[in-house]
Amino acid sequence: MIHPTAIIDATATLASDVEVAPYAIIGKHVTIGKGTSIGAHAVIGDWTEIGENNQIYHLASVGPASQDLKYHGEECWTRIGDNNLIREFSTIHRGTVTGIGETVIGNGNLFMAYSHVAHDCVIGSNVVMANSATLAGHVTIEDNVILGGLVAVHQFTTIGAHVMVGGGTLVSLDIPPYMITTQHKRDAKLRGLNLVGLKRRGFSDETLRHLKNAYKTLFMSDLALPEAIARVRTEITGCPEVDYLLAFIERSKRGICRG
């Protein structure tokens, strides 16, 4: 059902069962998949693709122009997958030509009230951003990440899969996968593995043991990081999760958050 007070641009394409509540605005070149609902007074900006079975609550803003002062209205996109829940007053901005040209959201994510995703961010699937969590531009969030309330993430930062970031944390360095991070003085600090989350997601006891051993060598030993990586790679073999942890650290451009 589309409420008669909604404003929908003629170039927008909506599946037949999309629901649009009163006073919502849907811009140019928007595509919205089946089963999706758009709340009252929500705004869907130009060049936005929204998949199936998403719930966008009242007063959310999805796909507006970037706040980057270098952006001057060029064709850039917001692409959102399926089964996402975007709560009231959340903001998700489109990409820029000086970035990757799009902001990309995966599937099954929860964006709580007042959360913010800036331009050119890439977010995986099953991510939770609690109230007022904020991503600057060009941030990458991998799958199964939880960001607590009031978390602020610096531009060009990557947060690895299965990470949990405590509320109020300021993140300016990459966070390796599988970790818990909280605020310490002026920046984030590792607090160990996200063991509860990993167990809930079915990680085996053997995998957890390997990750614990890797953590001790990487972050609790006196070895320089390259030496610690080399030792872990020698001592722990045949564990894809440890291999991924090491690869993440090695490809980090900003440097990684440590204990």
Active site positions, annotated: 119-120, 137
For the four alpha carbons of 188, 163, 250 and 108, in that order, the dihedral sign comes to negative
Long-range contacts of 6-12 (CB under 8 A, 24+ apart): 6/38
3-state secondary structure 182-249: EEECCEEEEEEECHHHHHHCCCCHHHHHHHHHHHHHHHHCCCCHHHHHHHHHHHCCCCHHHHHHHHHH
User: Phi, psi at residue 186, to the nearest 5°?
Assistant: -100, 0
For residues 218 and 170, give the distance between their C-alpha atoms in angstroms, rounded to a whole number: 22
Question: CA 250, 255, 256: angle at the middle one, nearest 5?
Answer: 85
Residue labelled with tokens 């006073």: 23
Q: Is 251 helix (H, G, I), strand (E, B) or coil?
A: helix
- 188 beta partners: 183
Residue in this structure with the two tokens 């030792």, named with its chain if needed: 231
Contact 40, 20 (CB under 8 A): no
